[in-house]
Amino acid sequence: MSVDLLLSRLEKVKSTGQGRWQALCPAHKDRSPSLSVRELSDGRVLVHCFADCDVHAILSAASLEMSTLFPPSFVGQGSPERRPFPAADVLRCVAFEALVVAAAGASILSGHPFTAIDRARLILAVCRIEEALTAAGVNRG
């Protein structure tokens, strides 16, 4: 059911096989379908934008929540997830994204032109840092 709701909010949806579709990505100005949607046998829905749009941005643009991608039996059930990655690996990733943010800041401060690609990468870095904080349970409020 969740895949039907998602597909109903997308444009130029085309079936590409059993449980697979392509559509225009609602998170960016898409001229040709760059969003891939796949429904797994257990009801979970996978989305991937080949222009690197974040799943949160895609769902937000479609006015949907992350829970839409999971069947009701997956939401809120099961045991708490154990940390899937070693803390050192997570810190290395966050450090790299912080380096991206620092490089962007230095570029802006030195007066270099800031392109749309630069802006998109900066936003991605900030989103990844925020996701890491959320996953770690850090309350920033």
pTM of the entire predicted model: 0.52
Segments forming the whole domain that contains residue 18: 2-69
The C-alpha angle with vertex 124 and arms to 114 and 56, in degrees rounded to 5, equals 135
* One pLDDT digit (tens) per residue for the chain, 141 residues: 578 888 999 999 999 999 999 999 999 888 899 999 999 888 889 999 999 998 999 999 998 888 888 877 655 555 655 666 777 888 888 999 999 999 999 988 999 888 888 888 999 999 888 888 877 777 665
In a domain, 106, yes or no: yes
Q: Which of 40, 69, 98 is a domain's end point? A: 69
* C-alpha span between 56 and 116 (Å, rounded): 19
- Number of domains present in the structure of the chain: 2
CB 6 within 8 A of CB 19: no
The predicted pLDDT at position 83 comes to 62
pLDDT at 98: 93
